[in-house]
Structures are given as structure tokens and as C-alpha cells.
């Protein structure tokens, strides 16, 4: 028969077979993982068509909602720019004082990101795992109307910036 048919050589051959099999299983697992992760990333970008001019509402798991323009998405992050958020303020009804059991009414104020004390830039990368859902906003939504109104106000010069021509002439004649 075969010279290597002793019991020791069979167990040695069986051990080598198990090592080769384990390496093969690990290689297949890595290949499957890489293929699936690439597929997920492609599906995110292909199924989620982003209009670069549209505003979106991004609802997060911490109950915060940000409004802005989506610039890029990956399987891990979404980049949002030109960002606004709502801040809740409680106001007393007119004529009421805090001591007479006055009713408070809740008001929301639209805040532009970047005006906070810590001065963040007007963009953020949001972890995809923190996003509950995303909605594209209509151009006639109250949020979009308020954003566009604020942008218009930012572009118009304030009356205090330049003195009127009359006041310059009056100073020269004195």
C-alpha cells in the first residue's frame, strides 16, 4: 500500500486539510463582507436621488431636526450644508404676568447654524445611524419660505450701514 498510510500521517493530513479549509472560509467571508458593503453604499447613492437645490428635513434619533441642503452621502455619513434648526421658546400671553398663573404658549424660532456661541461652520456630517428619516421640503413650505426670507434680509444692506446723502451734505455745510 502507501507508505504514508500510518495513523500519524492521516491525522497530519487531516490537520492540514482543516487549516486550508479555515483559510478558505475566512477568505470567502471577507469577500462577502466587502461585496455587501460596496453594494449598500451603491444602493444609498442610487436610490436616494438628491436635488442639490432643494432643502431637506433630517430627523435624528435625539429628536433634533435640521433643515438644509444635502451635499454628499456615504454609507456612514450625510453632509448637510446651509443649515437651520427650530428652537422652542415659551412666551407668556400678552397682559399676563408669571405670578398670576398665566398660560404659556410655545413658539418656534428658525435659527441659522453658525450663530451659536461656539461659532460652528455652516455644515455638518451626520452619522447615518443617527438619522431616523429624511424629507424633501416643498418650495412653498413655511420652513423654506422663512429660510429664503432670512437669506433676502441678509443680502439687503441695513439702513445704519451707510448714512443718507442728506446727512453728509449737512455735516459739510456746518
Distance (Å, rounded) from C-alpha 98 to C-alpha 111?
Answer: 26
> What pLDDT is stored for residue 12 in this prediction?
81
- Regarding whether 31 and 107 lie in a shared domain, the answer is no
In a domain, 146, yes or no: yes
- Regarding whether 62 and 39 lie in a shared domain, the answer is no
In a domain, 172, yes or no: no
In a domain, 166, yes or no: no
In a domain, 81, yes or no: yes
- Regarding whether 143 and 64 lie in a shared domain, the answer is yes
CATH classification at residue 78? 2.30.30
- Regarding whether 18 and 90 lie in a shared domain, the answer is no
Closest-CA residue to 39 (of 47, 27, 50): 47
- Regarding whether 114 and 28 lie in a shared domain, the answer is no
- Regarding whether 36 and 103 lie in a shared domain, the answer is no
In a domain, 38, yes or no: yes
pLDDT means per 10 residues in the chain (174 residues)? 60 86 91 72 58 94 94 87 88 58 74 82 90 93 92 74 49 46
Closest-CA residue to 62 (of 120, 14, 126, 18): 126
Asked if residues 101 and 121 have their Cβ atoms less than 8 Å apart, the reply is: no
Structural domain range at position 38: 1-47
Altogether, the residues listed in the chain come to a count of 174
DSSP state for residue 122 in the 8-state scheme = S
- Regarding whether 60 and 33 lie in a shared domain, the answer is no
Whether pTM exceeds 0.95: no
What is the tally of structural domains in the chain? 2
- Regarding whether 30 and 67 lie in a shared domain, the answer is no
- Regarding whether 84 and 22 lie in a shared domain, the answer is no
> What pLDDT is stored for residue 169 in this prediction?
46
- Regarding whether 110 and 75 lie in a shared domain, the answer is yes
> What pLDDT is stored for residue 14 in this prediction?
84
In a domain, 168, yes or no: no
In a domain, 75, yes or no: yes
- Regarding whether 67 and 17 lie in a shared domain, the answer is no
Residues 6+ apart with CB under 8 A from 92: 98, 102, 103, 104, 105
- Regarding whether 135 and 66 lie in a shared domain, the answer is yes
Amino acid at each position: 500500500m502507501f507508505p504514508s498510510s500510518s495513523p500519524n500521517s492521516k491525522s497530519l493530513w487531516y490537520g492540514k486539510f482543516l487549516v486550508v479549509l479555515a483559510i478558505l472560509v475566512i477568505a470567502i467571508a471577507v469577500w462577502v463582507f466587502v461585496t455587501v458593503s460596496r453594494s449598500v453604499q451603491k444602493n444609498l447613492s442610487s436610490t436616494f436621488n438628491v436635488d442639490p437645490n432643494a432643502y431637506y428635513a433630517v430627523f435624528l434619533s435625539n429628536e433634533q431636526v435640521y433643515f438644509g441642503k444635502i451635499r454628499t452621502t456615504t454609507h456612514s455619513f450625510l453632509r448637510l450644508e446651509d443649515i437651520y434648526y427650530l428652537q422652542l421658546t415659551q412666551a407668556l400671553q400678552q397682559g399676563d404676568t408669571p405670578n398670576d398663573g398665566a398660560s404659556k404658549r410655545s413658539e418656534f424660532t428658525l435659527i441659522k447654524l453658525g450663530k451659536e456661541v461656539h461659532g460652528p461652520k455652516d455644515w455638518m456630517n451626520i452619522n447615518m445611524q443617527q438619522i431616523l428619516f429624511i424629507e424633501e421640503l416643498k418650495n412653498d413650505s413655511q420652513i423654506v419660505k422663512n429660510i429664503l426670507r432670512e437669506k433676502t434680509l441678509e443680502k439687503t444692506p441695513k439702513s445704519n450701514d451707510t448714512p443718507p446723502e442728506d446727512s453728509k451734505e449737512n455735516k459739510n455745510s456746518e
